[in-house]
Homo-oligomer: A and B are copies of this chain.
Amino acid sequence: MSNNIFWHNSAVSNKHREELNHHKSACLWFTGLSGSGKSTLANEVDKIFYSKKIHSYILDGDNIRQGLNKDLGFSPSDREENIRRIGETAKLFVDAGLIVLTAFISPYRKDRDFVRGLFDHNKFIEIYVRCDIKTCESRDPKKLYEKARKGLIDNFTGVNAPYEEPENPELIIDNGNDSDILKNAQLVVEYLHSLKLI
């Protein structure tokens, strides 16, 4: 009877939602330069998750900058608010029992550390997608580096705004031209296995 009363008063918890999903929840925070392959890598990881019936979701520029954060630009203070909101949203997804993957440049160490502080230990996994800027610039699918070099974009990370490398990320993925994106995605999945998150 006391259990029933407890259940009646309590809400469905994060633990309940993890049990329903048959895996733990966590935030995989991909950070790196524009063109480093963060979104591509996150998408490959997400596809592996789906094939394993892992409940996941990606937050990236496509769904955040057009929606939740469309009122924000790229000044340092707007970037800070951008990352704060993404971090808070990621926290909700983790609370909901999902593995949420975020793919944003997130160039400032203090902003990433702020987000880390929102999560319990082992729930926040910073993944540095490392790629030298020449390679990133040679990819340049949206011609953003080209525009930034011409002075047409202010505050472009790596050109006229800083990128602060992670000092102690949980994982570093070298994602240069000689790298295999599928193997790199597998490395991320294996790391989560090693933590017994999945």
Judge if A67 is at the interface, Cβ distance under 8 Å: yes
**A47: nearest chain-B partner, CB-CB:** B12
Considering the chains assembled together, what is the distance between the CA atoms of A152 and B15 in angstroms? 39
Q: In the complex the two chains form, is A50's CB within 8 Å of B92's CB?
A: no
Q: In the complex the two chains form, is A53's CB within 8 Å of B20's CB?
A: yes
Binding site for B on A (CB under 8 A): 7, 11-12, 16-17, 20-21, 43, 46-47, 49-50, 53, 55-59, 63, 67-68, 85, 88-89, 91-93, 95-98, 118
Considering the chains assembled together, what is the distance between the CA atoms of A88 and B71 in angstroms? 12
**A59: nearest chain-B partner, CB-CB:** B92
Partner of A63, one of B7, B43, B58, B95: B95
Q: In the complex the two chains form, is B96's CB within 8 Å of A68's CB?
A: no
**A58: nearest chain-B partner, CB-CB:** B11
**A51: nearest chain-B partner, CB-CB:** B12
Considering the chains assembled together, what is the distance between the CA atoms of A17 and B58 in angstroms? 12
Considering the chains assembled together, what is the distance between the CA atoms of A67 and B118 in angstroms? 9
Partner of A21, one of B43, B55, B85: B55
Residues of B within 8 A of A49 (CB): 12
Question: Smallest Cβ distance from A114 to chain B, in angstroms?
Answer: 12
